[in-house]
Structure 1
Amino acid sequence: MPVRYKLCLLIDDNYIDNFVTRKILESGNFAEKIIIQQSPGDALLALKNGSLKPDVIFLDVRMPGMTGFEFLEEYDKLEPDPEHPVKIFMLSSSLDPTDMDLSLNSRHVAQFIHKPLTYEALEELST
């Protein structure tokens, strides 16, 4: 299976979730490189200064300091590169229907995925 993306950014404060998600992404040959940022603020800074240019972002909803939705609000203020569109997938253990609705109403979010990421969910992302 060919690699789908060059760079995948995983933004989640939970070490175990990051470990599991990275393993699924690696074994699914999802991206050439996977970078983990446990702080949404640090991820925003890296996106803002251009040190990170991901093709796809997996974003947790509930994190201390800045939620996934707060990240999206700040992300919305960044100048998008029309030649380098970024897909954002919300990846969360939240069962709150409001979280799903807010995610899907964001112009940046392609899909809401329940944790843990599975091979089946990963396959559906390519269809």
Structure 2
Amino acid sequence: MNLENTDPSLPTFDDCLKKIRAIDDTMELLSGKWKLSILSRLCYKPMRYSEILNDIEPLSGKVLSRELKDLETNGLIIRCVSGTKPPSVTYSVSDYGMSLRDLSDKIAEWGLQHRDRIRSSFKRSDL
């Protein structure tokens, strides 16, 4: 059985595999419930640890610390320690992390449309 398509206007099987692998890589990097949520907040303004923790209600401190460390290790955020007493730590999105803003905006846009769709279906079922 030949899996290769014969239509030149369609991507090849190898091209599809490359994209699938790239999606897998991206999902691995952004895996977890909170990374994209943290990143999207930091795209709008730098935040201190306690601000992020308070802004994302059910997030625990332990999980936030782990997620911030992963995001920093992957170069998506910058951890800035001030020289004040006591030291103050602020997190901001890096230029590299900012490259994910369009993706974050698209996901948010889709989420809003989906939420409207669900609300509409509930309204129709109430009739």
TM-score of Structure 1 vs Structure 2, range by shorter chain: under 0.3
Identify, as 1 or 2, the structure richer in helix: 2
Using structure 1 for the length normalisation, give the TM-score.
0.25
Greater length-normalized contact order (CA 8 Å, ≥ 6 residues apart): 1
Between Structure 1 and Structure 2, whose CA radius of gyration is higher? 2
Identify, as 1 or 2, the structure richer in strand: 1
Using structure 2 for the length normalisation, give the TM-score.
0.25
